[in-house]
Amino acid sequence: MLRFLIKRMLLGTLTLFAVSLVAFGMFFMLPRDAVATMCEKNCNAERLERMRDELGLNDPLLDQYTGYVKGVFVGRDLGSAQGGWCDVPCLGYSYINNEEVSDIFARVIPVTLSIVIPAAILWLGLGIGLGMLSALKRGTVFDRLAIGFSLTGASMQLYFVGGILLIIFVYTLKILPPPRYVSLWESPLDWAAGLVLAWVALAFLFSAVYARLSRAQMLETLAEDYVRTARAKGLTKSKAYGRHALRAAITPIVTIAGLDVGGALGGTVITETTFGIQGLGRTAVEAVRLGDLSTIMATVLISAVFIVVANIVVDLLYAVIDPRVRLG
């Protein structure tokens, strides 16, 4: 178990290292010039050059890269134009927003979490619930409707669903406020009201694959010998299905769930764009558009961290849920 964990963590670190190199290279390939964006009305060549110097953009690439990595682990001095000493974990200074990237993150990560976590609960619950029920009621009208519903969801475009939901609930019926983010601690009701459409839209789209998958898994395990044995030995239907069948059926679902949630935590760009909410995704997109080095690095890295961690967690969960799986 421990050996497995260490091995996965090492591989994960290697992945993150490679991702950081790609993000860094990406920035320097970009045909964009952040300094030109910052340099306002009375800009001239000398000033541009000096700003590049100050931001360290004229240093050798390797120095810039190691400087950034060093900042993450031990902190670093960013110079007087960028707010001086930057504490561990120093994600750098966004010269577009004039603040440390960690301050930006403190603002946008709660937003992304508020979108993804409730949405994930909703889509997992809806998907698995529908799937299991239709497996048990195989061949009935309910079964067909459930599959039809989930395929409809899977065929929808998020921005289309989002747009329709907005038209109906916000502009026509006016029972919901325009989407916005209010801190959960400030007002749980406003928090939910502002984000519920995003949750519903995401859940509608994402639940399809879970419904489909859990139905297939359930059907397969129901036919397995040990479930039949359990039933034959007189276990009630709910006990046999609940304790034995469900457990085995859920394993592969965890894999996809891990990947989906991990990916979504790295930024729900389209959801955020459709509903006009500023989370990690839009921040990342804007950073690339404006060539904001530190923010690009930090957003790419954090979404990679989410995915790598999600992968490890999934493997661990495997062992917990299904004793047959041995890690090694």
Partner 1 sequence: MSLSQIETEPGGLDPTAVPVAPGPAMVGRSPGRLAWERLRKNRTAVVSGWVMLFFVLLGVAAPLVELLYGIGPYEQFQDKIANNSLPLGYLGGVSGEHWFGLEPRLGRDVFIRLVYGLRTSLLIATSAALLTTAMGIVLGIVAGYLGGWIDAVISWVIDFALALPFLIFALAVMPTVTARFYGPRDDIDVPFRIAVMILLFAMFGWTGTARLVRGQVVSLREREFVEAARASGAGLWHILFRQLLPNLWAPILITFSLAVPGYITGEAALSFLGIGIVDPTPDFGVMISKSLEFIDGDPMYLIFSGTVIFLLVLAFNLFGDGLRDALDPKSSR
Partner 2 sequence: MRTRAALAAAGAVALVVALSACSENTNQESGVDTDRKASGVIATDPKDSLGPAPEVPGAVKGGTFTILRETKISHLDPQRIYNFVGLNTAPLYSRFLTTWKDDGKGHVTLVGDLAETPGVNVNNDCKVWEFKIKSGVKFEDGSPITSKEIAYGIARSFNPDLAGGPTYIQEWLADTAAFDTKWDFKANKTSLPPGLTTPDDKTIRFEFAKPHCDLPFAASLPSTAPLPPAKDTGVDLDGAPFASGPYKLTKNTAGVELVFEKNEHWDPATDPVRHQYPDKFVWQFGPDATAQTDRIIADGTDAATLGWNGVATSRVAKVSGDAGLKGRTLLEPTPSANRLTINTQRVTDLAVRQALNYAIDREGLIKSLGGDYVASPMTTLMPPSTLGFKSFDVYPAGKNGDIDKAKATLAGKTPELVLAISDDSGDQEIGTQLKNNLEKAGFKITVRTTPADSKLDDTKKKDNPWDLYLDSWAADWPSGAAILPVLFDGRSIKAEGNSNTSFINNDAINAEFDRVLALDPAKQADEWAKIDERIMKELAPAVPLYADVAFYIHGTKVGGLYIDSIFGYPAFTRAFVKQ
Residues that bind partner 1 (CB under 8 A): 11, 14-16, 18-19, 22, 26-27, 29-32, 138-139, 147, 151-160, 163-164, 166-167, 171, 202, 205-206, 208-209, 212-213, 216, 219-220, 252, 255-256, 259-260, 263-264, 266-271, 273-274, 281, 284-285, 288-289, 296, 299-300, 303-304, 307-308, 311
* Cα angle, residue 68 at apex, residues 45 and 313 outer, rounded to 5°: 140
List, in sequence order, the alpha helices (H) in the chain.
2-29, 34-38, 45-54, 61-74, 101-136, 141-155, 158-165, 188-222, 225-232, 237-239, 246-265, 269-275, 280-290, 293-321
If one asks whether residue 149 binds partner 2 (CB under 8 A), the answer comes out as: yes
Query: According to CB under 8 A, which one of 54, 65, 110, 216 is a site residue for partner 2?
Result: 54
Find the binding residues for partner 2 in span 69-108 (CB under 8 A): 80-84, 97-99, 103-104, 107
Tell me, residue by residue from 259 to 288, as one string, x for binding to partner 2 by CB under 8 A and - for no binding: -----------------x-x----------
Return the number of the residue (51 or 307) whose C-beta is nearest partner 2: 51
Q: Stretches 45-53, 64-72, 114-122, 246-254: which one binds partner 2 (CB under 8 A)? A: 45-53
Side chain identity, residue 311: N
Figure out which of the listed residues 168, 223, 232, 325 binds partner 2, where binding follows CB under 8 A: 168
Q: Are 290 and 37 spatial neighbours (Cβ–Cβ below 8 Å)?
A: yes
Neighbours of 41 (CB within 10 A): 4
CA of 226: how far to CAs of 113, 181, 217, 253, in Å? 40, 49, 15, 21
Residue 89, preceding bond cis, omega within 30 degrees? yes
